[in-house]
Amino acid sequence: MEINQEEYQPQIFEKKWQEQWQTQGLHQASDKKDKPKYYCLDMFPYPSGEGLHVGHLRGYTYSDVISRKKKMQGYNVLHPMGFDAFGLPAENYALAHNIPPQESVTKNISHFRQQLNSFGYMYDWDREVVTCNSDYYKWTQWLFLQLYKKGLAYHKEAFINWCTGCKASLANEEVVAGKCERCGSEVTKKKLTQWFLKITDYADRLLNDLQYLNWPDKVKTMQKNWIGQSYGTEFVMEVMFDGKEKKKVEELTGLDYKLAGAISPDDEVKIKIYTTRIDTIFGITYVVLAPEHPLVNYLTTSEQKNIVEEYIQQSSRLAQRERLSQEREKTGVFTGSYAINPVNNKQVPIWVADYVLPDYASGAIMAVPAHDDRDYEFAEKYGLEIIEVIVPEGLKEQKNKAFIEDGVLVGSGEFTNLTSVEAREKITAWLEEQGLGYGTKKYKLRDWLISRQRYWGAPIPIVYCDKCGEVPVPEKDLPLLLPEIKDFRPTDTGRSPLARTENFAQTTCPKCGGPAHRETDTISQWVCSSWYFCRYADSKNETEIFDKKKVKYWLPVDLYIGGVEHAVLHLLYARFFTKFMFDVGLIEFEEPFNKLFNQGMIYYQGSKMSKSKGNVVNPDEIIQKYGVDTLRIYELFMGPAEQDVEWSDESVIGIYRFLEKIWQLANYILNNQSQVEIEPELEKFKHKTIKRVGQDLDDFKFNTAVAALMEYVNNLNEFKNNNQVIHISYLSDLIKMIAPMAPHTAEELWHRLGNIGSIFEQTWPDYQENLVIDKTFDLVIQINGKVRDTIIVGVEIKQDEALELVKQQEKIIKYLENKEIKKVIFVPGRLINLVI
Ligand code: ANZ
Ligand code: ZN
């Protein structure tokens, strides 16, 4: 190697190091447990045909920098990568290009792998996980069977979200503002028999355990709201048909009596109501059923039949989005029947209106227009009664809208004068005594719909037999392979393309051997990605899902980096699966990701960088021109890591100049070595830089870490410009500090210094505390205004740090024993006074 190579030409050595790192196995995580472990995970991508643009690289670069630094700090680092290769995105790409998904996925993955390697990421490819490979989806199917065994996977007919674009059902989490999260098409309701996972059984734990997570508050709040816990009261109201007769449930064939509110089929028909404001029960002036409510038919009188049916028709045509819209004017129709308020026997009309949702709580509400905005608007429109039963504490005022806060009860019988809080408790207790209701918790979270009427997914391992009914595929027969078929286009019918594949769909029953047919829907790819982070610990295991001991060593994930768009999708599902795997004894932790970081997005020419907008910057071009390390450092430097930033072509050049400067500085130092003493001021500056860079990287302040290195390089350059000799240690520490960010340049320079092993086998530089303190002063310590001691501290010391130090001083300890510090007065640069 030429020592005098003056020009910075990274393209010459980048490939060489990438290959060498791979062949030497530098990135392999060892399962030997002799070091503390650090598991740093990227959200794995789906291998799109477009490849990666510079916008994708931000999060990957952050996790790579942290992984490399942790490795230098002596950790056993697991930094794996894989591909989320099943599902709609991959299949839609294959459809658009008219090639089998098997083919397009294989091609796209190898392109992705090659791209990711060209960015110099330290992935341990030996552990790669590809969700559409049968050695992986075998275990996805196995997990499905474990859920099935526990009654947590079930089959039922329901009104589900149907994406008109994808021609497939969607989970609630995939519907964003009434549109498909994937393709943006309108989502309608369709009645289909589908597979669900009982995530609702975990609602409590999913909510409660959020408190233990070191996650951005924003994501925690989104999950909290999505789970949507509320405390309220459930109670039943009797009904009068035509305002006179009562009916037994028995007489109403086909009625889901539990949903209706009746306890058994011989009970009278009742309506089950859920409310968070039972304190307003004396203010009920009507009751509303969702149009899909099973009682609507039975409660509608012959006079009202036509208009009710027409209304139901009309609201079923509405898209989800319109129905939920706050702005939309509320509509509804009267059924002709009445319900009876249990607290005062008042008869109130039963209406049907689509502002009541079929799938929340019982799908029926008590309407209290005086105290609920939606009910108020509705009552005004249809001339329904408005009865005020809550007044603000203290004053009474006239108003022409609902008073929705808590207050004091009026006109509420024996409960009058109670506060809302007291009344909720007392009224619920009264209902309980009467056997009419109880206090309860409800969640907005719904069971997770996981079957897809699409080809490209793991087949659901269930067989239907005329004799035995629903039969799970025996575990020994897994994987249930996805057959290769020619025509994998989806249909509008809700039937999967696999249903057209006779030799797949027709089978024999695993139980009785008689003729049977298979479930032909496939499993949503969100299921595949709900457990992949465990498989990295033992990705090649053929006999079990993973070795429990290996998973115990590596997991939970220490740091998870990815986009915020997964807040209530992947991140919720993965937590659910983790809790399930814990419950069945597969793992010993209940939360998969200790720390989560969401990187900001990259904008270009005013909008979010994306292929569809045509504003992508191709990383390959940047690499060709400036080298990978310039690209990496620019990604780090462009702005605060969690914020959205605008890509700037000019700034890329600036970073190139920075690396060039380091290169020339290294040449200068190497070529001008002679006996030289350590320079005290420079030494201090170096130690400060080490401290700053280390802390900034730990705090995700990548941009200021780069800035600190720039200052350090400028400082060294002044020595160079004055033709002074610079001690080699200033260079080698610089190389170590820049190594996680610019690994290729660092490795090349490290070897030019005459070293043999990789720089990533070196330890991250340490700093000396006494050298990072700028200047010191004598801090006077007073107790209640009397001087008790003085200590020497750094000028930059903060009150908290000073207080901690003071508490440790021998002379002070005795004054503070059993005393409470009431007040701290801190005068920077002078004194601290403790009032006790
Ligand atoms: C009477 C009432 C009076 C209500 C009042 C509110 C204020 P959260 O907190 O979100 O759980 N509700 C119940 N089921 C519903 C459904 N299927 N579709 C639409 N709305 C429904 O909301 C619970 C409240 O939402 C319930 O309390 C009910 O209206 C309504 F002054 O009951 B309330
Ligand atoms: Zn769609």
* pLDDT of 514 above 60: yes
- CA of 277 from ligand 1 middle (Å) equals 8
Q: Nearest-CA neighbor of 706 among 667, 731, 737?
A: 737
Band of pLDDT at residue 2, cut at 50, 70 and 90: very low
- Over the stretch 578-633, which tens digit does the pLDDT of each residue have? 999 999 999 999 999 999 999 999 999 988 998 878 888 999 999 999 999 999 99
Q: What are the DSSP calls for 382-404, one per residue?
A: HT------EE-SS-----SS---
| pLDDT value, residue 148 | 98
| pLDDT value, residue 265 | 73
| pLDDT value, residue 492 | 84
CA distance 696 to 702: 6
Burial class (CB in 10 A: 0-12, 13-18, 19+), 282: buried
Helix (H, G, I), strand (E, B) or coil at 204: helix
CA distance 460 to 504: 12
* pLDDT of 249 above 80: no
Phi, then psi, of 203 in degrees rounded to 5: -55, -45
Looking at the CA of 389, name the nearest ligand. 1
- CA of 372 from ligand 2 middle (Å) equals 35
Note the maximum CA span of the chain: 108
- What's the whole-number mean pLDDT along residues 372-397? 90
Q: Provide the pairing of β-strand 776-783 with 831-835.
A: parallel
- What's the whole-number mean pLDDT along residues 271-284? 97
Alpha-carbon dihedral 45, 48, 54, 60, rounded to 10 degrees: 10
Q: Provide the pairing of β-strand 347-353 with 332-340.
A: antiparallel
> What percent of the chain shows pLDDT beyond 90?
71
Atom 25 of ligand 1, residue of closest alpha carbon: 275
| pLDDT value, residue 397 | 60
| pLDDT value, residue 179 | 87
Nearest atom in ligand 1 to the alpha carbon of residue 442 is 11
Measured from CB, residues less than 6 Å from any atom of ligand 1 are 230, 274-277, 280, 290, 356-357, 360-361, 363, 365-366, 368, 371-372, 442
- CA of 357 from ligand 1 middle (Å) equals 10
Count of H-run helices and E-run strands, the chain: 28, 35
Amino acid making up residue 110: S
pTM for the structure as a whole: 0.85
Nearest atom in ligand 1 to the alpha carbon of residue 367 is 1
| Pair of tokens at residue 21 | 């790192």
Dihedral of CA 172/177/180/183: which sign?
negative
Three-class DSSP labels, 583-623: HCCCCCCCCCECEEEECCCEEECCEECCHHHCCCCCHHHHH
Lowest mean pLDDT among 70-74, 157-161, 554-558: 157-161
Band of pLDDT at residue 182, cut at 50, 70 and 90: confident
Looking at the CA of 164, name the nearest ligand. 2
- Over the stretch 731-775, which tens digit does the pLDDT of each residue have? 999 999 999 999 999 999 999 999 999 999 999 999 988 888 767
- CA of 49 from ligand 2 middle (Å) equals 18
Band of pLDDT at residue 567, cut at 50, 70 and 90: confident
Atom 20 of ligand 1, residue of closest alpha carbon: 356
Looking at the CA of 454, name the nearest ligand. 2
| Pair of tokens at residue 271 | 């309506």
Looking at the CA of 356, name the nearest ligand. 1
- What's the whole-number mean pLDDT along residues 678-698? 92
- CA of 86 from ligand 2 middle (Å) equals 15
- CA of 162 from ligand 2 middle (Å) equals 8
| pLDDT value, residue 374 | 93
**Cα→Cα distances 710→450, 706, 714, 738, Å:** 51, 6, 6, 10
Pocket-testing residue among 275, 293, 368, ligand 1, by greatest number of atoms within 8 A of Cβ: 275
Looking at the CA of 360, name the nearest ligand. 1
- Over the stretch 779-831, which tens digit does the pLDDT of each residue have? 999 999 999 998 888 887 889 888 988 988 888 888 988 888 999 999 988 99
* pLDDT of 570 above 90: yes
Question: What residues does 449 pair with on adjacent strands?
Answer: 196
- CA of 42 from ligand 1 middle (Å) equals 40
Q: What are the DSSP calls for 144-200, one per residue?
A: HHHHHHTT-EEEEEEEEEEETTTTEEE-GGGEETTEETTT--BEEEEEEEEEEE-GG
Helix (H, G, I), strand (E, B) or coil at 339: strand
| pLDDT value, residue 3 | 45
- CA of 356 from ligand 1 middle (Å) equals 9
- What's the whole-number mean pLDDT along residues 330-336? 95
Band of pLDDT at residue 398, cut at 50, 70 and 90: low
Query: Of 835 and 614, which is predicted with more confidence?
Result: 835
| pLDDT value, residue 399 | 65
- Over the stretch 653-674, which tens digit does the pLDDT of each residue have? 999 999 999 999 999 998 888 7
Nearest atom in ligand 1 to the alpha carbon of residue 360 is 17
Residue with tokens 């920075």: 658
Query: Of 647 and 814, which is predicted with more confidence?
Result: 647
Q: How does the average pLDDT of the chain come out, rounded?
A: 92
| Pair of tokens at residue 127 | 């552990």
* pLDDT of 90 above 90: no
* pLDDT of 24 above 60: yes
Band of pLDDT at residue 466, cut at 50, 70 and 90: very high
Pocket-testing residue among 343, 365, 420, 445, ligand 1, by greatest number of atoms within 8 A of Cβ: 365
